[in-house]
Chains A and B, each alone.
Chain A
């Protein structure tokens, strides 16, 4: 099946811990994105990458880090510096010259 796979679906983190969310795509897309979704605030862009080994900060990058070592993979690390990490995280991909983005099923992160 072609698509975007996010794992895990649910993730619990203790305060002070770093956690990494996985995002893999087999659509051969160059561009990948991470969004955060909070109730009533829509989707806010955390980081995006248009090519391997390059990425840019989005609107709310503080407390997050990413890597893009492979075209298929764009993991997001939520660090202990992120003060309010509980949210629904969505990964997306698309072609650089394309239009719409395609989304994974999301990871719900809860700090306990």
Chain B
């Protein structure tokens, strides 16, 4: 079965510092991996994805993520955090070889950036 783990309920970082939000996954086939961001009482916005190719993928708002197959991880990173980055972040996975394209989500990590 597919699953995603986000081990940190909350990450605190000072503005201007680098940030990392962790994600590990389990999938039987080739993983398709995603990061989404959610602001209060809003839907999810797509940030970036890994399907194949370079392990470092770049996405919206200066975010990037590194796919590590041996560690089954897909951590979200940003070199310099902004207060406006404060939000709830979700990692998601689907089985690239599966019969459906439904996404399985982690429990989310709340990112708090202090000024």
Contact = CB atoms under 8 A, between A and B. Distances in A.
Chain B contact surface mostly: loop
Interface in B64-115: 90, 94, 100-108
A80 interface: no
Interface string A88-107: 10101011111111111110
A64 interface: no
A99 B102 contact: no
A42 B106 contact: yes
A17 interface: no
The size bracket of the interface on A is: 20 to 34
A97 B51 CA distance: 12
A39 B86 CA distance: 17
Contacts, number: 63
B102 A96 contact: no
Interface in B41-71: 41-46, 49, 51
B107 A50 contact: no
A11 to B, nearest CB: 13
A31 interface: yes
A41 interface: yes
A42 B9 contact: no
A103 B51 CA distance: 20
A33 interface: yes
Contact of B43 (A40, A90, A95): A90
Contact of B101 (A41, A97, A103, A105): A97
B25 interface: no
B9 A48 contact: no
A40 B107 contact: yes
Interface of B: 6, 9, 32, 34, 36, 41-46, 49, 51, 90, 94, 100-108
8 contacts: A33-B102, A35-B105, A40-B9, A50-B101, A99-B51, A101-B101, A104-B43, A108-B41
